[in-house]
Amino acid sequence: MINLIDTIKVPMNAEQLKRVQRIDAEDFFLVKIKAKKQLILEGKPSDEHTLEEGILALKQYYAVAVFDPKNPHAISDFVDPFWHAHILDTKRYKRFCLEAIGYFMDHQPNNPEDQEEMDYLQRAYCYTSDIYAQLYSYINYELTPAKPCSDNLICFHFGNSEPSKTAMFDFNPAMEPIVEHLAATC
């Protein structure tokens, strides 16, 4: 299994390093078991290698919230079952978020009937993909496609506007309509 820290190609400050190490230290055993069940139900690959890659992709999604907390991000349909499995253990997930990310990472599902929201989700996903390319030396594009089709668009998480010792990126003004939409629908 590749560790998250081994995929990061940018220099990190002490706070970023601490948070990335915390993400890597999380026990994802139950997440993997629960995600496997969901992947089987969805007819997606669920072999051990794919599950390990899914956990790494989830770790990368969490780390993007560390490095770019001021902007919303979107996750792929393949990685989403891993996130759901983690969220279900609510106390542990909350503690993990506060320790590793610095804030509670809300999960905002999409409304596929709302075309405006789907457009925002597409923009957030493409933005997230661009940030991944800047941060990571390794990305599994089968699990986290660089440019999604509408079937890959699943959900967002909010950014965090509070000052951060971990932010590498400023707030992207192009994300403003997405932030406003998310604030209005939650």
CA distance 122 to 31: 26
> Residue 133: its pLDDT value, please?
96
What whole-number distance in Å separates Cα of residue 20 and Cα of residue 135? 12
Would strands 73-76 and 108-109 be described as parallel, antiparallel, or unpaired?
unpaired
Residues 73, 126 contacting (CB under 8 angstroms)? no
Using one digit for the tens of pLDDT, what is the confidence trace for 96-120?
A: 999 999 888 888 777 788 888 888 8
User: pLDDT tens string for the chain (186 positions)?
Assistant: 789 999 999 999 999 999 999 999 999 999 999 999 999 999 999 999 999 999 999 999 999 999 998 888 899 889 999 999 999 999 999 999 999 998 888 887 777 888 888 888 888 888 999 999 999 999 999 999 887 665 655 565 666 655 567 877 777 777 777 767 666 665
DSSP code string of 116-167: HHHHHHHHHHHHHHHHHHHHBS---TTTS-SS--GGGEEEEE----S--SS-
- The pLDDT of residue 112 is 81
CB of 57 within 8 A of CB of 81? no
pTM (global) more than 0.75: yes
Residue type, 30: L
* DSSP string for residues in 167-185: --S---GGGHHHHHHHHHH
CA distance 70 to 158: 8
Listed in sequence order, the residues at least 6 apart from 138 whose beta carbon sits closer than 8 Å to its beta carbon are 2, 6, 7
Per-residue model confidence (pLDDT) at position 3 = 96
